Each structure stands twice: as C-alpha cells, then as structure tokens.
Amino acid sequence: MERLYDIFSFVATDRMVFNRLDFWLFFLGFLMVFSLLQKHQLVRSIFITIVSLFLYYKTSGLFVLLLGLSIVFNFGLGKWIHTVASTKKQKWIIACSVIFNIFFLAYFKYAYFFTESYNELFHTKYAIVNWFAQTGNGFFGEGFFETKILLPAGVSFFTFQSISYVVDIYRKEIKPVRNLFDYAFYVTYFPHVIMGPIVRARDFIPQIYQPFSLTKNEFSSAIVLVVKGLIKKIVLADYIAVHFIDKVVDAPEAYPGFVSILAMWGYSLQIYGDFSGYTDIAIGISRMMGFELLPNFNSPYKANSVADFWRRWHKSLGSWLKDYLYIPLGGNKSGGIGTYIATTFIFIFLFFILQWYALIYIYLGLTLLLIIPFFRKFLHRDLNLLITMVVGGLWHGASENFVIWGAMNGAALIFYNYWKKISPYENKTWWIVHFWKLFITFNFITFTRIWFRLDGENEPMQLLNHVWNHFDFKWETFVTVLTTYQAVFWIMLAGFIVHWLPEKIKNYWEQAFAKLPIVVQAISVAVILFLVYQAVSDTFKPFVYFQF
C-alpha cells in the first residue's frame, strides 16, 4: 500500500519511467480507467492530458507550470495564425512562436554554457540569475522555487513539437485543434513528451478525433514492441554499460588502448538499445491506447553510408530538422539570407564562444567562394547541411563536444555528397563492397560518439591519445579481457547478430507471436520478462535521452 501511495501521490520520483515497475503498476490502473472513457473523444483527451501532466509533475515537479505556459501560448498562436489572411502577418506569428519556444529552450538549456564561455573569453565574472525562480519566490515565499537553473525534462522535445504545430497550420497541412484540451493532449501525451520521439502535429492530431480501435494483431504487436524495448534497455544497454563500458570510459588508463575501442563499439550498441528501446516501448503502449507513433529507428547499423545512417537513426529529429530548418534555408537547391545569417551566427558562436580562432580563415575563404557563381550552388547546399547538423548537435546538449559531434557528421555528409558521384563502388552489389561500406560507416559513427559520450572538454582527445599511445594489443591480453567480461561480449555479439538479421526473419517471429492464443502470449511474456529482469543491476541507469 505504501508503494501504491508513492506512485499515485504528488511526490516527485525517478521511478515513473518505462524500465521501472512503478510505471507499469500506474499504467495498469490508467488502462482500467481509460477503457471506460475511450468512447468519448473529449473526455478521453481531458483524461489523458491530466494523466500526462501528473506524470510530468512526478518527474519534473513545478516545471509542469512551464509546460502549461507553453501549451496556452502556442495554442493561442495556432488559433491566431489560422484566422489571419495576410501572409506577412502569418510569418510574424511564426517568428513569435519560434522566438518564444527557442527562448525557453535556450534559457534553461544553454544559460550556464553561454555565460561561462563569455566569462572565460572576456575575463568577467557574471553570475547566472534565475529570474523566473526569484519572481516566483517573491509571490510564494523564499525557497518555493529552486534558484539554480535546472533543465526541464523533455524541453527539447516539446518545444520542437510546439513550433511544428504553428508552422503546419501556416502550411495548411492541418487545421487548429478544436479546443485547448486537444492541443494539451498532443503536447503532453505521456509516452513521448519526455524523451520523444518528436511527434509532428500533422501526423498525430488527426488521430485525436478518430474513434478508438484496437485489433488482436495490433495488441500483439504492441506487446512485442514493449517486450523488445525492455530487452533492449535492460539487457542490451544497461548490462553492458554497467559491467563494461562505464568501467573502461571512467578509467581508460587502467586498460590497454584497444579495450577502449571495444568499449566504444559497445557504446554504439548501448545508445541504440537505450533510445530505440525507449521508443519501442512508447510506440507499443501508445498502440495499446489506439494511437500510432511513427517508427524512430530502422536498423541504423545496416547503413552503408553516413547519409543512409541519418535516414535510419532518430528519424523524428532528422525529419523535423529537414522540414523546419534545412528546407527553409534552401535545402539542396539554393541559399538565401537565412543561410548567410545562420552561417554568420554559427561562425560568431564558434569563434567567440568556443574560441575556435582558426575558423576565421575558413569563413573568409567561404565568403570569397560565394562570389563565384560556379561554387555558389554547391556551397549553399553544403552550408545548409552543415548548419542543420551543428544545430542538431547543439540540440543534444550545451557543450563544445556536441558541437564537434554535429559538425563532424555534417562534414561527413558533405564529403559523401561529392564522393558518391565519383566512387566506382557506389552502385555495386558485391557483398564485399557492401560489407566494407557498412564497416566504414559504423566505425565512423562510433568514432564521433566519443564526443557524444564524454562530457569534459579535453576528455575525447585524452581517450584518443591513450588509444594511440597505449594500444598494446596482445593476444593473451585480448583473451583475458574476453574471459573477464565474457557475459558482456556474448550479449554484444547477440545484439549485433539480431540487429543485422534480415527484416523478414524478425517479422516472421512477430507474426508467429500474434497468432498465439492470448493465454499463451501472456505466459510467454511473463517468462521472458522474468528472465530479462535477472539482468537488472544494483546501479539504476536512466534513459540516455532523459537529459535532452
């Protein structure tokens, strides 16, 4: 009873996430009530909104007020832009939406980063002041709000969704929702609000007004997704992270350099299992409720190029950046004032904030090349692509390492655009060529993730220096490492094999499960989950994308 009280009380906890039992006890109670209300569209929207806000409060406390402010403001902008006939006024409304949403994202996510960088550059000692907390404490009493600026859960996701709602109305891809509750339902929908996937208004809002429908096959596929997601998170991600990757990354000097390479290969598997496991569960529980979220991953390590990888990895973010940043900048075809402003802004950011002074030569060189018509078209496309990937890097976190990570992926995409035109192997179907392209792509992505995984400014280079100077590969040492971490490497091997299996084999087993009687399905799931939870360690690992 005490545990149930903690679950349903207004007490903040870190246990209301998909890989904890508390969430599933709560979700079971939710489904019981939902089954009684699902026939009434408005009542269903209100109920899911209340539950979603409650769950957000459980994980983020009073930041639920920020989420509520965002809902009211963007709902009003959506109504307003639909009634305005002037295209010029509509664009001003879009600008208002972008400024409002990006302001909150920048304030809560990047305030310390920009202030510390400014202080370092100009030798000042400006301190961060949380004006929102001070104002709130003036009304409610000292200590009511935390004065340190904390990152609201899911702020990177719901700000992007809010922008897409207003823009999609402007593009006439959707009409405004009927009422505030329907819009709040779209933004706060608990399967995705904290860690995604980023749900586009045009994809989700029409479903709000559809009657509830759930076939046996859909229910079975939902169960498969949930179980698959839990396996990815608990076994594939958490086990290898706790028992191998974290140990090596936290103290690489204690191991030969080649072990760090094995750890980074494992990290690529870990982050895939962690994030795709979350989205599998989100899609699965959403399907149980009669709503469809678009897939966010498509076997990314089957990619044979960097471009192919980014079509398969975190598809909702890639699609959002393409439609709301890359194409408005000009995409593949052109560049305009937006491209030049964004390029200059990023240059100023890298030059002054990160103090990459050598970039002045690159910037001047690009400026000269843009004068020449022959180079202008290609440079526009390349700059648009690089801007998009740098913004994507910054979206993940406020640090120099994320900027480098995004810039490296952007540079690789630019390089591939030129290479594929002259490569003699681009259209070859030989298995050795396919294997080689897959191998190069996977290792490049893994290499860039050194900057994604490590927090410190110099940590990535320190790790690379250690690998280079202390590689020390010896067969005896390699066997010792395999023996010491035997269970980890078996799981890694199984994870890669299953990942690279043909889709028709995976679909066959899912379809076979769907044909089983409900009782057999229930027993099978119970046995699988019992075995899966034997891999749970004492160290709780939150989902990686919870910090974004």
One-character DSSP codes across 289-329: TT--PPP--S-GGG-SSHHHHHHHSSHHHHHHHIIIIIHHH
Q: In this structure, are 206 and 227 located in the same domain?
A: no
Residue 458, in any domain of the structure = no
pLDDT digits (tens, 9 = 90+) for 464-488: 999 999 888 889 999 999 999 999 9
User: 428 versus 316: which is more confidently predicted?
Assistant: 316
Does pLDDT of 408 surpass 70? yes
- In this structure, of 59-68, 218-227, 299-308, 335-344, the range with the lowest mean pLDDT score is 335-344
Is the pLDDT confidence value at 301 over 70?
yes
Q: Nearest Cα to 445, choosing from 408, 393, 487, 480?
A: 408
Asked if 396 is an active-site residue, the reply is: yes
| CA distances from residue 68 to 74, 198, 360 in whole angstroms, order as listed | 10, 18, 43
| Cβ neighbours, 10 Å, residue 417 | 16
Res. 3: pLDDT tops 80: no
Is residue 264 domain-shared with residue 323, that is, in the same domain?
A: no
Q: Are residues 109 and 174 in the same domain?
A: yes
Looking at 192, 380, 396, 499, which residue is catalytic? 396
Same domain, 263 and 304: no
104 shares its domain with 24:
yes
Query: What percent of the chain has pLDDT above 90?
Result: 38
Q: Rounded mean pLDDT of 447-462?
A: 90
What tokens were used for 196?
């995604």
Assign 3-state DSSP to the chain and report helix, strand, coil percentages, each to 5. 75, 0, 25
Pure H helices in 61-178: 64-83, 87-122, 131-140, 155-170
Which residues, at least 6 apart from 215, have a Cβ–Cβ distance to it below 8 Å? none
At 163-202, the pLDDT tens digits run 999 999 999 999 999 889 999 999 999 998 887 788 888 8
Residue 208 and residue 219 in one domain: no
Same domain, 247 and 342: no
Contacts of 396 (CB under 8 A, 6+ apart): 156, 402, 405, 406, 452, 548
Domain count, the chain: 3
* Rg of the chain in Å (alpha carbons): 24
Assess whether pLDDT exceeds 80 at residue 489: yes
Residue 5 lies in a domain: no
Print the domain residue range for 284. 215-297+474-548
Q: Per-residue pLDDT averaged across 223-241, rounded?
A: 92
- Is the per-residue pLDDT at 352 higher than 70? no
Query: Out of 64-78, 152-166, 293-307, 349-363, which region has the weakest mean confidence (pLDDT)?
Result: 349-363
CA atoms within 13 A of residue 269's CA, in its CB half-sphere: 31
Confidence category of residue 311, pLDDT binned at 50, 70, 90: very high
pLDDT of residue 146: 65
- pLDDT value at position 365? 66
Q: How confident is the model at residue 375 (pLDDT cuts 50, 70, 90)?
A: low
Using the predicted structure, report yes or no on whether residue 73 has a pLDDT greater than 90: yes
481 and 335: one domain? no
Higher per-residue pLDDT: 437 or 14: 437
Q: Are residues 179 and 287 in the same domain?
A: no
Confirm whether 469 is domain-assigned: no
pLDDT at 534 over 80: no
- Of 156, 177, 212, the one marking the end of a domain is 212
How far apart, in Å, do the first and last CA atoms of the chain sit? 34
pLDDT of amino acid 514: 82
Domain membership of residue 185 (yes or no) is: yes
Q: Could you say which of 212, 227, 244 is where a domain stops?
A: 212
Do 199 and 290 sit in the same domain of this protein? Answer: no
In a domain, 58, yes or no: yes
Do 304 and 385 lie in a common domain?
A: yes
* Listed residue (391, 378, 383) closest to 362, CA to CA: 383
Whether residue 537 contacts residue 238, with contact meaning beta carbons closer than 8 Å, is answered with yes
Q: Does the structure show a pLDDT above 80 at 403?
A: yes
**What are the residues whose beta carbons fall under 8 Å from the beta carbon of 44, sequence distance 6 or more?**
34, 37, 38, 212
Q: What is the pLDDT of residue 446?
A: 96
Q: How confident is the model at residue 546 (pLDDT cuts 50, 70, 90)?
A: low
Q: Give me the pLDDT at residue 518, please.
A: 86
519-526 mean pLDDT: 88
Task: Please give the structure tokens belonging to residue 19.
Answer: 């890989």
Dist. CA 78–CA 478, nearest whole Å: 60
In this predicted model, which residue has the larger pLDDT, 544 or 181? Answer: 181
Q: Average pLDDT of the chain?
A: 85
Mean pLDDT of 53-74: 88
Amino acid (one-letter) located at 329? L
